[in-house]
Amino acid sequence: MKTQPDDSTRIIDLRALQIRSMQADDPARLAAAFADMNKTRAQYEHYWQENVEGSRVTLIALLAGSVVGYTNVIWKSDYEPFRQRGIPEIHDMNTVTSLRRSGIGTRMLKAAERLVQQTGRCVIGIGVGVTRDYAIAQRLYPKQGYVPDGTGVHPNAWGGCMYAVKQLHDEIREA
Ligand SMILES: CC(C)(COP(=O)(O)OP(=O)(O)OC[C@H]1O[C@@H](n2cnc3c(N)ncnc32)[C@H](O)[C@@H]1OP(=O)(O)O)[C@@H](O)C(=O)NCCC(=O)NCCS
């Protein structure tokens, strides 16, 4: 746990944080938890379908039984350089607004990395928006060892995206 929070951090007991893979009743819970971000239940139903099909693993973070975050691993990225090299992508990661900067995102990243490592792969990729809306992610990913792949900014509907990769080492298993 962080011991010296500033005004924008909250202390939570990360030992109580549970991260598990998605279940059938999660789409409604996710839509409720992220309603303030205009996320729709339809999007999460789509994720559930892809979990069932095996193309995506959605990881759900829970605190005292409440959904506080989620992320996904997609095995075949839409980003061609990742797809060609067989690099799974961490895709769509969110922590509930009130609990950001408490360590939940870091834990979700590590859970996604462990999942990928368990399949024998040693590289994982991620995309991050380049606008201020993604400020926390832009700082977090390099701190966690994600290095830009050097291809610059890729235009998209949200102001552009950059991609980064991380080499997975044995210590992630212990994290
Ligand atoms: C990006 C996002 C998923 C990260 O999740 P998070 O739970 O906020 O991440 P963390 O708390 O682990 O890390 C964020 C910051 O908190 C700090 N932190 C980590 N553990 C902490 C703790 N125990 N106590 C306080 N701060 C902590 C990290 O060092 C990091 O600090 P920084 O902002 O100074 O770099 C989340 O902020 C979010 O949903 N953002 C909006 C959507 C978004 O941008 N998604 C990513 C799309 S690419």
Nearest Cα neighbor of 59 from 96, 112, 98 is 112
- What pLDDT, on a 0 to 100 scale, did the predictor assign at position 156? 95
> Using a 6 Å cutoff on CB, does residue 2 contact ligand 1?
yes
- What pLDDT, on a 0 to 100 scale, did the predictor assign at position 5? 40
| Top mutation candidate among 3, 102, 131 for ligand 1, by most atoms within 8 Å of CB | 102
> Using a 6 Å cutoff on CB, does residue 106 contact ligand 1?
yes
Q: Report the separation in Å between the CA atom of 71 and the middle of ligand 1, taken as the mean of its atom positions.
A: 13
- Sketch out the chain's domains with CATH numbers: 14-174 (3.40.630.30)
Which tokens hold the place of 138?
Answer: 């832009």
Alpha helices in 2-134 (DSSP H): 26-33, 41-53, 80-85, 104-118
The protein residue whose alpha carbon is closest to atom 24 in ligand 1 is: 102
Q: Which atom of ligand 1 is nearest to the CA of 126?
A: 48
Tens-binned pLDDT, residue by residue, of the chain (175 aa) = 443 444 456 778 999 999 999 999 999 999 999 999 989 999 999 999 999 999 999 999 999 999 999 999 999 999 999 999 999 999 999 999 999 999 999 999 999 999 999 999 999 999 999 999 999 999 999 999 999 999 999 999 999 999 999 999 866 555 5
Determine how β-strand 123-129 pairs with β-strand 66-74: unpaired
- What pLDDT, on a 0 to 100 scale, did the predictor assign at position 6? 47
Nearest Cα neighbor of 74 from 128, 116, 12, 26 is 116
CB proximity list for 28: less than 8 A, separation 6 or greater = 41, 44
> Using a 6 Å cutoff on CB, does residue 12 contact ligand 1?
no
pTM of the complete model: 0.92
Sort 118 into a burial class: Cβ within 10 Å, 0-12 / 13-18 / 19+.
Answer: exposed
